[in-house]
Amino acid sequence: MADLVRYELKDRVAVLTIDNPPVNALAPAVWEQIDQAVARGVADAGADAMVLIGAGTTFIAGADIKIFDALKTREDSMSRSAGTHALLKRVEDAGKPLVAAIHGNALGGGLEVAQACHFRVASKDAKVGQPEVMLGIIPGAGGTQRLLRLCGAKMALAMCTDGKPVAAPKALAAGIIDQIVEGDLLTGAIAFATMKAAARQIRKTRDLQIKPEDVSGGMATCEAVRVALGKTARGAHAPFVAVDAIQAALTHSFDEGSIRERELFAGCVVSIESKALRHMFFAEREVAKVPDIPKDTPTREITRAAVVGAGTMGGGIAMNYANAGIPVLLKEVDQAALDRGMATIRKNYEVTMSKGKMTAEQLQRTLALITPQITYDGFDRVDIVTEAVFENMDLKKATFKELGAVTRPDCILASNSSTLDIDQFAQASGRPPQVLGHHYFSPANVMKLLEMVRGRETSKEVIATSLKLSKKLNKVGVVVGNCFGFVANRMLAYYMREAYLLLEEGASVPQIDKVLTDFGLPVGPYGMQDIAGIDVGARIRQYLASIGKTRAEGPQSAIPDRLFAMGRYGQKTGAGWYKYAAPGSRDRTPDPVIEQMADEEAAKRGVKRRPVADEEILARIMTALANEGARVLEEHYATRASDIDVIYCYGFGYPRLRGGPMFYAETVGLATVLSRVKEYRARFGDYWEPAPLLEKLVAANKSSFEG
């Protein structure tokens, strides 16, 4: 077995070093070797005390998340965690002082191991946390029982329900750690352990008394947290279960509370919520790995940027650069448009400041990084330009032609187009290897997704540089292929098609939106269109009509174009799919005009309107997404199904708790999804055509898009 926990003696202290790169995750063998190393230290006559420390950049980032997949039933989980609980009790029963020395992170099981040590010291920049809820579980190795005894109910509840890590100084003040070590951590930890050995001091966390204020008020604190979670943890289950586990610590002995924790953990770990969140954890990390772009692909530093177009998207993109400390030129065609754009940017920053998230000085400093201008002055010095002009092929091609002339040959030219063919811009620029899509999502300064569209000739260096840049811009970069609408909007067209058809068939706009928000989306399809602008979609449809295409297969509803013709563009004009109190207001009410239009359009298509059940709305919309997602995958416009899930969660706020549209389809069952497509084809027409990949997977009895 590999040496995952090294043992050595230093100044009569046994140093146990966990060495399981990259983050010392607690794989089963690491747990075992910690147990063995502690036993060896206890038996070693040359050791008076022990220090448990992590090799590399961190202490322990938690249990190995991959192993949870092996826990198929509650019983599997109960028996594994019984072993872990017993192991940590053995560690805690060690007859010599055992000190955890924490640097980097002590998270999840990592903090639970540290809690079972007699004392904890940490570097001042270390962090400790119980982030399990982010994975749909709760601490499962005694964390809910020991943490409460160390820091009290309020802090334990906060840590176990929001999952946020706590910095060492705060952890020290709360009693989670005992000392901050300035200078070399191991040296400090050895000194601390030696001192405890000399004083013959051993302190078992599990024997600590519950704090007096928690004896009297702990239950009320739990109740208050449950009420607060009702607002902040909508749809999630695990945070509430974490409260139950901490409540058990307040009302039971350590051993009884620990059994309750194990039962509660077991219920969580087999839940779809946890499977979905674990899927997202790995999906978010996989997405940065592009098969033919090795890690060592050369990249360029981006130190200066420019954006063309100071509209809503262009302004938001410029803010992203400024927020990252990168100076950015912002160009518009005329002064009035530029002034409007800069006023919006300033207003956005002022809102941030009013929320206390930025000081006046930071506002000025950030704003000063954006240089508004109506010329191409200085474009020959920037490393990247993002084009964010109107979504019009001719205009964009003309812009790329100009950019090809005014920028350096090695400057990256990115387009924020949400749909159009990147290769045509690349040709227009005269240097296709430097061109790619940088598709931001609205509002561009808020939404985390950056869809990076790879053109036919985009160089690997440009893609690698973009991926690196996305991190700097605090975005999740996903590399996709160049098809109409790329991945996000290509699939969205099918989502919207079903929303339109369901309306014509008899569902209402508020009903459809509510089904989707109840599912966990921040906004339904119609609310989203009213925010994004009905004019945007209408102009794309006009362009497509000019080249003889439609966005999605199947009947095209006339209602969106009728709204466009009426000047009902959504929130900004005070009317769209809903009526608004005033232009720009979010205060909306349903509009009977829409029902009337739906009646008229249904009559034209010979559709008899009927009550549509919420279940049908959800099933139709989600099936449409998954079926088109399967095509996208098979045509290699997305590298993996999980990339599509990342795109939907970060671009459209698809609930992570559901794991994204492709994972959700897997939880519904691929065979069920396929049978729904076939049912809809029989009911509605051949435009419902099963994606070949879906048929292949079901025929091969596969349960996952990854085969």
- Residue 66, interface with ligand 3HC (CB under 6 A)? yes
Q: Which is nearer to ligand 3HC, 141 or 476 (CB)?
A: 141
- Residue 25, interface with ligand 3HC (CB under 6 A)? yes
Q: Which is nearer to ligand 3HC, 69 or 207 (CB)?
A: 69
Cis omega (within 30 of 0) on the bond before 555?
A: no
Nearest distance from C-beta of residue 206 to ligand 3HC, angstroms: 16
Q: Which is nearer to ligand 3HC, 116 or 509 (CB)?
A: 116
Give the strands of the sheet with 127-129, arranged side by side.
105-107, 127-129, 166-167
Count of residues touching ligand 3HC (by CB under 6 A) = 23
Nearest distance from C-beta of residue 478 to ligand 3HC, angstroms: 15
Q: Binding marks (x or -) toward ligand 3HC, 67..106, rule CB under 6 A?
A: --------------------------------------x-
How far is CA 370 from each of CA 334, 357, 374, rounded to the nearest angstrom?
17, 19, 13
What whole-number distance in Å separates Cα of residue 707 and Cα of residue 692?
Answer: 13
Nearest distance from C-beta of residue 446 to ligand 3HC, angstroms: 22
Q: Which is nearer to ligand 3HC, 166 or 426 (CB)?
A: 166
- Residue 140, interface with ligand 3HC (CB under 6 A)? yes
Nearest distance from C-beta of residue 23 to ligand 3HC, angstroms: 4
- Amino acid 51 reads V
Q: Which of 32, 75, 112, 689 is catalytic?
A: 112
- Residue 109, interface with ligand 3HC (CB under 6 A)? yes
112 catalytic per annotation: yes
Provide the strand spans (E) within 229-317: 305-308
- Amino acid 499 reads A
Q: Which of 8, 32, 75, 132 is catalytic?
A: 132
Tell me which stretch binds ligand 3HC (CB under 6 A): 34-42, 130-138, 369-377, 662-670: 130-138
Per CB under 6 A, the list member of 97, 131, 629, 655 interacting with ligand 3HC is 131
Cβ-in-10-Å burial (0-12, 13-18, 19+) of 44 comes to middle
Q: Which is nearer to ligand 3HC, 106 or 619 (CB)?
A: 106
- Residue 690, interface with ligand 3HC (CB under 6 A)? no
Per CB under 6 A, the list member of 37, 53, 61, 229 interacting with ligand 3HC is 61
Q: Where are the alpha helices (DSSP H) in 473-520?
A: 488-505, 509-519
- Residue 135, interface with ligand 3HC (CB under 6 A)? yes
Nearest distance from C-beta of residue 52 to ligand 3HC, angstroms: 16
Nearest distance from C-beta of residue 231 to ligand 3HC, angstroms: 24
CB 618 within 8 A of CB 693: no
308 φ/ψ angles, rounded to the nearest 5 degrees:
-105, 120
Residue 221: count other Cβ atoms within 10 Å of its Cβ.
20
- Residue 22, interface with ligand 3HC (CB under 6 A)? yes
- Residue 471, interface with ligand 3HC (CB under 6 A)? no
Cross-strand pairs, 387 = 308, 415
Per CB under 6 A, the list member of 108, 554, 660, 690 interacting with ligand 3HC is 108
What whole-number distance in Å separates Cα of residue 283 and Cα of residue 198?
Answer: 49
Tell me which stretch binds ligand 3HC (CB under 6 A): 132-140, 170-178, 577-585, 627-635: 132-140
261 catalytic per annotation: no
Q: Which is nearer to ligand 3HC, 289 or 539 (CB)?
A: 289
Per CB under 6 A, the list member of 5, 121, 128, 141 interacting with ligand 3HC is 141
Nearest distance from C-beta of residue 633 to ligand 3HC, angstroms: 21
Buried b / exposed e over 589-616, threshold 16 CB at 10 Å, is ebbeebeebbeebbeeeebeeeebeeeb
Residues 280-299 contacting ligand 3HC, CB under 6 A = 285
- Amino acid 641 reads A
Integer-rounded Cα radius of gyration of the chain = 28
Long-range contacts of 176-180 (CB under 8 A, 24+ apart): 176/111, 176/120, 176/128, 176/147, 176/150, 176/151, 177/102, 177/120, 177/121, 177/122, 177/128, 178/119, 178/120, 178/121, 179/119, 179/121, 179/122, 180/121, 180/122, 180/123, 180/124
Per CB under 6 A, the list member of 35, 49, 59, 62 interacting with ligand 3HC is 62
Cross-strand pairs, 450 = 440, 477
- Amino acid 575 reads A
Structure tokens at 40: 């060896």
Q: Which is nearer to ligand 3HC, 237 or 579 (CB)?
A: 237
CA-nearest of 193, 152, 137 to 11 is 193
Return the SS3 of 600.
Answer: helix
Q: Which is nearer to ligand 3HC, 268 or 626 (CB)?
A: 268
How far is C-alpha 88 from the geometric centre of its chain's CA atoms?
Answer: 32
Catalytic positions are 112, 132
Chain contacts with ligand 3HC (rule: CB under 6 A):
22-23, 25, 61-66, 105, 107-109, 112, 131-132, 134-135, 139-141, 143, 285
